[in-house]
Structures are given as structure tokens and as C-alpha cells.
Amino acid sequence: MTLAERRPGGPPPKEVSSGRYMITDDCTSCGVCEYMCPQDAIKEAPNRFVIRRHLCDGCAECVPYCPVRAIVPAAEFAARQQETRTAQLRRILKRD
């Protein structure tokens, strides 16, 4: 079974071989990613999980299992964090 066949709800990640993934603040600390990582690169930290970059080989096995899609390529991390902050602020201010 390929990664594309296992990925629920969308196409496979764009940067499977990049070797650089990060977990955004959208993480709900469910722990699924830690269990799915074959390299043991994901560990629990206060309030969320983190990817230890020196252990991550970029296989992206964890990506399709994150229920909130919090695991993103490092190149997209800053933009995703900003989107999250903007959404939080809009909720607080009750604006669309």
C-alpha cells in the first residue's frame, strides 16, 4: 500500500523526500504521529508533539494520520503558523 492510498482526505504530501517536517500549533497532542513515525523522531513536548529533525528522514509516514493536519513541510511552517494566529484572532474578535 502506498502513502497516497493511506492518506485520508487528500493527495499525498508535496515534499515527501524533503526530510524537513514540523508540527504547527494546531497540534492537539493526540499522539498518533508519534506512534506512526518509523524513525522514532516525534516526541511529546509541553502542549504538543515535536519532530526531532536530526532523526526525521522525511518519509512523511506521520503526515496522513494527523487528524488536524498539523504536520507540514518546514517551508510551509511559518505561513501555517500565521494562518492559525489570524484565525484565532478572528475568533476572538468575532470577525469573518
pLDDT in tens, 39-75: 999 999 888 899 998 999 999 999 999 999 999 998 9
pLDDT digits (tens, 9 = 90+) for 1-11: 344 444 454 44
Query: What's the CA gap between 88 and 51, in Å, rounded?
Result: 24
Instruction: Note if the pTM is more than 0.85.
Output: no
CATH number corresponding to 16-93:
3.30.70.20
Q: What percent of the chain has pLDDT over 70?
A: 78
Run of H or E including 48: strand 48-51
Residue holding cell 494546531? 26
Run of H or E including 45: strand 42-45
CA atoms within 13 A on the CB side of 52: 12
User: Could you tell me the pLDDT band of residue 20, with boundaries at 50, 70 and 90?
Assistant: confident
73 strand-pairing partners? 21
Domain boundaries, the chain: 16-93
Predicted local distance difference test score (pLDDT) of residue 38: 95
